[in-house]
Amino acid sequence: MMRLRSAVRPGLATIAIMLTAMFTAAGTSTADTSHELGPAEFYIRSELHGKCLDVLFFNTDNGATAGFWDCNGGANQRWYSTGEQIRSSLHNKCLDVLFFNTDNGAKAGLWDCNGGANQSWYRDGSLLKSRLHNKCLDVLYLNRDNGAAAGLWDCHGRTNQRWYTVPA
């Protein structure tokens, strides 16, 4: 009986540590201003359809479109944070509200990092908000298809605006 108890206790401790690590990772912000994420790569996934935020077609030009695709582990779906910037591991460009557009439906894309408000993001619960206008990153028009556009919209908190990160 003593032997069984001592074998069970380390197992419970291990499970408790694993659960703590999982819940801590689930609450990690993609726009963490304390640099906690640093160069560690992660995927940004939509609660709408579970697809990954993606630099569509591996485009390395300024203005490349950000959208959604089935997660496949490519460099075009891996991101890292440097302060309030979210950078693509494909080419180190920043997630950007293209052309400083403040309208609903403004496209999200990639551009050389310049420190502008259109490239600064912060986490508000499961929402990702732009410092440019406090609008939320959005799967535009609730599109569930591969290639769906990423854009910005007034925050409403439905699943097309809720995000979670997964370590790459």
**87-125 per-position pLDDT tens digit:** 999 999 999 999 999 999 999 999 999 999 999 999 999
Q: State pTM to two decimals.
A: 0.78
Residue 48 located in a structural domain: yes
Residue 79: exposed, middle, or buried by beta-carbon count in 10 A (0-12, 13-18, 19+)? buried
Domain housing 139: 30-167
pLDDT the model gives residue 14: 30
Residue 25 located in a structural domain: no
Contacts of residue 115, Cβ cutoff 8 Å, sequence gap at least 6: 85
Residue 82 located in a structural domain: yes
pLDDT the model gives residue 39: 60
Residue 59 located in a structural domain: yes
Q: Identity (one letter) of the amino acid at 93?
A: K
Residue 156 located in a structural domain: yes
Residue 4 located in a structural domain: no
Low-confidence residues of the chain: pLDDT under 70: 1-39
The CATH number of the domain holding residue 84 is 2.80.10.50
Number of domains in the chain: 1
Distance (Å, whole) CA 120 – CA 13:
39
Residue 71 located in a structural domain: yes
Ramachandran category for residue 73: left, alpha or beta (phi over 0 → left; psi -120 to 50 → alpha): left
Residue 1 located in a structural domain: no
Using DSSP, how many helices (H) and how many strands (E) does the chain show? 1, 12
Distance (Å, whole) CA 29 – CA 155:
18
